[in-house]
Amino acid sequence: MIKEINLVDPFTMMFTSGTTGNPKAVVHTYGNHYWSAVSSALNLDLHEDDKWLLTLPTFHIGGFSILMKSVVYGMSVYFMGKYERHVLHDALVEIGVTIASIVTLMLKDVLADIGQAQFLLSVRCILLGGGSVPKNLLDIVEEKQVPLFQSYGRTETSSQIVTLSKEDVSRKLGSAGKPLFPADVKISNENEAGIGEIIVKGPMIMNGYFKIAL
């Protein structure tokens, strides 16, 4: 019997980090995960030999979304049980990963371990989230021609929703990049300092939070 998946049906539930308040339970549909995977593929491209390095915890949307991508793409994933600096280096040098999702501390470790050598040609994308990258680190990134793609996302957006291309690392210093198709992003109620509320729209955006009846 063939079973069809309805993209609007709830599929997973994941809590936010609670950085600015109590953690909230985000309900993701099949469609949220599907469109998040599609938008990432349209932005980063998809190669037959791609293998994605998963360094992030799977209870975090950044890590879990890689597993969803592997299902949608039919792609291999190299799973790190916990972050260890030498394991990250070996994965990039010996295992043959082509894409890696990391944070700034991991990028710093990678660049230090490479030393004077150039960056690995087999790795075509280093996707970095979780915060900005210091200018001195970006200078090394450019010098070694690291294919760094800085991104911004959150649990409610099913992972990354804007990404900065590797060509714009220095030209758009401090930027998180452009919205991934077919998402829309704008800054609302912006003040004189350029700070405002981030408004997002698109099929990868959650339908709502799970509410517990008391």
- pLDDT tens-digit readout, 149-186: 999 999 999 999 999 988 888 788 778 889 999 999 98
Q: Which of 143, 103, 149, 92 is nearest to 126 (CA)?
A: 149
Residue 11 to residues 33, 106, 154, 155, 174, Cα–Cα distance (Å): 9, 31, 17, 14, 34
Identity (one letter) of the amino acid at 185?
V
Distance separating alpha carbons of residues 128 and 139, to the nearest angstrom = 16
2 in any annotated domain: no
Work out how many domains the chain is built from and give that number.
Answer: 1
111 token code pair:
């660049």
Residue 18 lies in a domain: yes
The model's pTM is 0.89
pLDDT digits (tens, 9 = 90+) for 117-155: 777 778 999 999 887 788 889 999 988 889 999 999 999
- Report d(CA 214, CA 29) in Å as an integer: 24
- Within 2-132, residue ranges assigned H as helices are 30-44, 61-73, 85-90, 104-114
Domain assignment present for 1: no
pLDDT band (50, 70, 90) for residue 212 = low
* 3 falls within a domain: no
5 within some domain: no
Give the CATH number of the domain where residue 165 resides.
3.40.50.12780
Average pLDDT of the segment spanning 14-24: 82
User: Region 56-82: what's the mean pLDDT?
Assistant: 93
Task: Give residue 132's domain range.
Answer: 10-209
CA dihedral 127, 134, 81, 47 (to 10 degrees): 20
